[in-house]
Chains A and B, each alone.
Chain A
């Protein structure tokens, strides 16, 4: 499904990071092609979100490099990385609580790219995005008044408002109903059709297996398996990490 291009969209080279002297991630290397959907799986606390933080510039790795479309962006500040076309959602939603839903999305439209967007054009674009995620009827409500499911959708609309080329979705299905998860699958596939490359962290294997071209499994701070979803889920390392024993 992934488009064939010579240069990968994203490449992580031997990324390592630790906290308080304890390594969290070691020697993480992988590449992601344009329009590919790659999901990360692994037990809680293994460093999946930290990996997203490193890609988006919120955390600096202690070793290794992050290469985006051939450009070394290691240690860049988050706003510069956003301007390059990398956007993310957060594991725990971070709306601007006292701004309306529409204003939350406008922030992404106005500041996500360096070029200026007019006020009316920005509003129209924000309303279209709210329509896409099913939140148009909540446009005038404040961020702090939304439900968990609505916050997830707001996060997605806000990230899309920055017009990204690479989108990182952290626990996008958490707190969603089965129907909402089915809608999320449709939406993710539609985003890929529009040319986006997606990285996903989610514990709903049902969702990740349906939408992903590739799974990457992390365990004990290392990349333990990478490949087609069925292959990764059946690999002995992943079974051991999840169930504490090998398949046999």
Chain B
């Protein structure tokens, strides 16, 4: 943690190392948001829907209503949560592979609508010129997120810490125990008084909300969004891969995945194999699933802290 706090002072703030770790925080947030839902035992292949709706919601609210990005990011999260409610109502009876496929297919609906509603969403051209996050002043310190990479780094670190607390709460609180019981056996959970439907609803909407927040944040970080980018399979797959790699059932698992895979991919694979680095990424995922099916977090916990198992 100390290393993460002092990192911008150890490396060049404008340089790639600071940016990569900052983006690892962002992908850590995305993975934590995805994993919230996965804690209930469901595997989603369609979180890009929440991400894209969050990104477009925030960008369009900014564009048409000239609201503060901090507010529009929250509205983007709410838009994601609304789509989560629709998922819950529509896919309530589905489990396992049919559920995963339904989530994958559901990304196409908002994507096609946004792609074709050119008058409102600018269609496949995307939204450009999305405003940067406005500066904040903390006493005498001015945090200029648009111009100061270190300020942005610390903002993303704060968001990651908040998401980690939410994720940890969803694992260790009594609500977390209900989620865990639903994951392990929902019939037994219901027979013991757990409202399975409500628990799944709460966890899905929370996950959709935070994924929407990530989408909104992404638009303001990058400055432009287009349907092919924010509704892509890549956006759905990345948090899944990071969580699987780090360990879905450890509170720190998705963060471990983001801190390991993303920097390795960006700093090592990309420079070694500028064209085929994704293939190496894919290979690592396959090897993880074969040799560490519970993720690296579970493996490390088993070997470094056997007493905690």
- Name A residues whose Cβ lies closer than 8 Å to a Cβ of B: 56-58, 77-79, 82-83, 87-88, 90, 94-99, 103, 106-108, 110-113, 158-159, 161-162
Decide if A58 touches B187 in the complex (CB within 8 Å). Answer: yes
Q: Is the interface of B mostly helix, strand, loop or mixed?
A: helix
Decide if A82 touches B187 in the complex (CB within 8 Å). Answer: no
Q: Contact check: which of A58, A98, A108 meets B192 at CB < 8 Å?
A: A108
Interface residues of B toward A: which range? 10 to 19
Decide if A90 touches B188 in the complex (CB within 8 Å). Answer: yes
Decide if A87 touches B181 in the complex (CB within 8 Å). Answer: no
Contacts of B195 in A (CB 8 A): 77, 79
- Name B residues whose Cβ lies closer than 8 Å to a Cβ of A: 174, 177-178, 180-181, 184-185, 187-197
B282 to chain A, nearest CB (A): 29
Contacts of A78 in B (CB 8 A): 187, 190-191
Q: Contact check: which of B180, B187, B192 meets A162 at CB < 8 Å?
A: B192
Decide if A107 touches B191 in the complex (CB within 8 Å). Answer: no
Contacts of A57 in B (CB 8 A): 190
Since A108-B192, A162-B192 are in contact, a sample of 4 more A-B pairs with Cβ atoms closer than 8 Å, ordered by chain A residue number, is A58-B191, A96-B180, A96-B189, A111-B193
Q: How far is the CA of A95 from the CA of B197 in the complex (A)?
A: 20
Decide if A162 touches B184 in the complex (CB within 8 Å). Answer: no
Contacts of B178 in A (CB 8 A): 111
Q: How far is the CA of A162 from the CA of B181 in the complex (A)?
A: 15
Decide if B193 touches A98 in the complex (CB within 8 Å). Answer: no
**CB<8 Å pairs between A and B, sample of 30:** A58-B187, A58-B190, A78-B190, A82-B190, A82-B191, A82-B193, A87-B192, A88-B191, A94-B187, A95-B185, A95-B188, A96-B184, A96-B185, A96-B188, A97-B184, A98-B184, A99-B184, A106-B177, A107-B177, A107-B194, A108-B193, A110-B174, A111-B178, A111-B181, A111-B189, A111-B193, A111-B194, A158-B192, A159-B191, A162-B193
Given contacts A99-B180, A110-B177, A111-B178, contact A94 B194 (CB under 8 A): no
B38 to chain A, nearest CB (A): 15
Q: How far is the CA of A158 from the CA of B184 in the complex (A)?
A: 15
A32 to chain B, nearest CB (A): 19
User: Which A residue sits closest to B182, measured CB to CB?
Assistant: A96
A246 to chain B, nearest CB (A): 40
Contacts of A77 in B (CB 8 A): 190, 195, 197
Contacts of A58 in B (CB 8 A): 187, 190-191
A176 to chain B, nearest CB (A): 20
User: Which A residue sits closest to B181, measured CB to CB?
Assistant: A107
Decide if B192 touches A82 in the complex (CB within 8 Å). Answer: yes
B39 to chain A, nearest CB (A): 12
Contacts of A97 in B (CB 8 A): 184-185
